[in-house]
Amino acid sequence: LNLGCATGHPSFVMSCSFTNQAMAQLELWANKTTGKFEKKVYILPKKLDEKVAKLHLTHLTANLTTLTKDQSEYIGVPVDGPYKPEQYRY
């Protein structure tokens, strides 16, 4: 769903949506000749979605720290994400 024509959404929500769209297009363009993507609908990879979230944290005056190896092993996720299991949907 493209929020560009929607009304009533805060600019922050629209910024996140547009950034997701732009990041997805950059990923498609970067892999246009690799055969990585067939012509079909894809769900945005969690890694890209989390990157978009990180880019917007300063707007919320949030400071994100990096997990240590011990922390990542304790909660069972890679240090650099994604931080949710594949079946989880945002």
- Enter the DSSP assignment of 85: -
Rounded CA gap, 29 and 20, in Å?
14
Query: Has residue 3 got a pLDDT over 60?
Result: no
The model's confidence at residue 2, banded by pLDDT at 50, 70 and 90, is low
Rounded CA gap, 11 and 69, in Å?
36
Per residue in 16-74, pLDDT (tens digit) is 889 999 999 999 999 999 999 998 998 888 888 889 988 899 888 998 889 999 999 99
The model's confidence at residue 78, banded by pLDDT at 50, 70 and 90, is very high
pTM for the model stands at 0.68
Strand extents, DSSP E, the chain: none
The amino acid occupying position 51 is K
